[in-house]
Chains A and B, each alone.
Chain A
């Protein structure tokens, strides 16, 4: 016996304590193998008998008796569903193992419960719906509230630089700085009753495409294409009032955070399928309704500002209808995907007020209008837009 012990010690190494022999039972194939057992500080060492080739090594902390065994049947493993187990027939070895492995004094392994696919599938869908519908809006507002003023301005500047880089064309400056034009624009904006608005600055960029945006940090961005396309100072004032509305109603940062949260959630749900375009498309559709709501709110704000400033909203209504018709001629996009409500709907909202405006201010004089048109040093070239505009007017 002592020679066997010394041989086992050599097999397992100097730090190992030899326990005895047992049977290693493969629960899948049913094969059994005689093994020698030993333990070190953390593991149970299992070697094939009599060759001593290492077979397996189990963590002592994971060991327990197998569940649902008959009287006198002693089987040990690391988990109830483990693929192999030790059968200890020899009571002497069992006692040695029991003393060497404290975990065996605890309860037997518990059988694991089968998966419940419908529960998990439904839970996943509910979790996604709760995240998108319930958690995202307040989370976006909370995150936006954490952003300090200087950081918000810096974010706005980054967005501005991005737009600047995007629309830049060779041999043409991006930002329009003609002093007479800017002064004319300032005079137009001064006619608006914007007492409740935060301090903001207007940046005019040179591109024939009519667009306007409000970026975080109090910046209203308009293109000189607006002047060429709008052809009316009241329309320009309406556009500015609309964008200031976004600033007053604090749409910028919360929208940005919401877009990040929703896009990430959809990207996760779709697994980045199709280079992430599927997730991006789904999030755009999901966010579109919220964006349309924000546009309506900004329109209402513009309507209120125009009314209190005694400016007719009709030119803005006509302008929005024209923009909508031109965009629809370019590419037809269904209403439920669009970030803006249909032009006629917005125009109707503004025309309601137009009827109530009794004494609209006269539009800007010819001199001011000329300055505005030349705010970027040259006249805007509405080319295809103007062509379509004339077609649209003829209709």
Chain B
């Protein structure tokens, strides 16, 4: 097939950037760039408007806010001069939420009531609550992701061709539960392996019109970037239980409130191995995420189209992201400290302010930077073949994301 020849471009041709050339089959070798035209000012205005209306309506506007933001984001991505389109509506999300609420409310309430009245104390109570929450997480999260992904893909189109997902729910749940189980029994060591399997599976069931996505992910590079993050995580847990907890008790932090204050104090002052290890986890996990995103993206093909990278992601972008996460982490710690020391009402107002800043910086500053960086490193090979792709005759997805909206704001 032609696609097999295209996946290994000549290095010189790959470096030639936006200049596209054609071989004797009329297929591009160097690939065409993906343009991301996302300007900060209109996006900031949109995010502020969304935040204000969401606060004023006590969260009810979130469906329309998310839709407006997605439209902006999707339309900013231009492939071969044509924008990607988001065709979803706020009403669909709202209806999906209502529908899922009716289905999920009875088991959810029973679950919450069950956890709330478990008559055990101390560690037992924590263990039982954690087990119940983990069971809920393992079962509900893949379900939510299934419907959310299906909806988002069905509302994404380019040149009139819609994307879709054709996975079977039972198979999806079975596989995701198995991978989560593996992650738990290996204490997180298998995370890169399961995430690669998960990504490959999801891509195998993702279509753009009649063209199917496929992904072939190399395991070793992501394992290599995961190991330092995992080692720091183990160090954090070990230091917390072997050093920080005894230290807190030694300095007289006995009550829960006292422990929280003292722990926040320790973290704020960045004192001791705990703080350093925690910083290590955040930084290493961040590097892992960036590396993984790059490997996943460039290991993906869509029928005859394949995505290739031209150069690595800029280091300043990594630094910037790290600073962003560090800043927000610090702000949340400050809020936690403020919360345990101050009356509820004033800490609630403070939290509102913190979240406002957090959402604003994330959605109006971070997202455009990340997208632009990815776009600048991205080329698509085989684009002239795209017009041969046609829409599939799937049954239309009529409602929004449903479960994902019920369990919380889990996506853009």
Contact = CB atoms under 8 A, between A and B. Distances in A.
A274 B396 contact: no
Interface size bracket, A side:
35 or more
B390 A82 contact: no
Given A82-B393, A272-B408, A264 B58 contact: no
Contact of B160 (A29, A168, A264, A274): A29
Contacts of A168: 254-255
Interface string B84-126: 0000000110110110011001001100110011111110010
A273 B162 contact: no
A29 B101 contact: no
Contact of B390 (A26, A171, A333): A26
B409 interface: yes
A29 B161 contact: yes
Interface in A119-172: 120-121, 123-124, 127, 143, 147, 151, 154-155, 157-158, 161, 165-171
B196 to A, nearest CB: 26
Contacts of A273: 54, 58-59, 62, 409
B355 interface: yes
Interface in B295-341: none
B394 interface: yes
Contacts of B406: 268
A63 B393 CA distance: 11
B391 A123 contact: no
Contacts of B253: 170
Interface residues of B, number: 57
A277 B253 CA distance: 27
Most chain A beta carbons < 10 A, residue from B97, B113, B122:
B113
Contact of B116 (A84, A256, A265): A256
Contact of A269 (B60, B125, B252, B343): B60
Given A124-B98, A161-B122, A155 B117 contact: yes
Contacts of B62: 271, 273
Interface string A266-309: 00111111110111011000000000000000000000000000
B159 A115 contact: no
Contacts of A269: 58-60
B392 interface: yes
B396 A170 contact: no
Interface in B113-161: 113, 116-122, 125, 159-161
B242 interface: no
Contacts of B105: 264-265, 268
Given A268-B105, A269-B59, A277-B351, A78 B394 contact: yes
Interface string B233-266: 0000000000000000000111111100000000
Contact of B119 (A81, A154, A169, A265): A154
19 contacts: A24-B390, A26-B160, A26-B391, A29-B161, A33-B390, A82-B396, A83-B394, A84-B391, A85-B393, A143-B113, A154-B120, A155-B117, A158-B118, A169-B254, A260-B112, A261-B109, A272-B407, A273-B54, A274-B59
Given A260-B113, A277-B348, 7 more contacts: A115-B92, A154-B120, A166-B257, A257-B113, A271-B97, A271-B409, A274-B355
Interface of B: 54, 58-60, 62, 91-92, 94-95, 97-98, 101-102, 105, 108-109, 112-113, 116-122, 125, 159-162, 210, 252-258, 343, 345, 348, 351-352, 355, 390-396, 398, 405-409
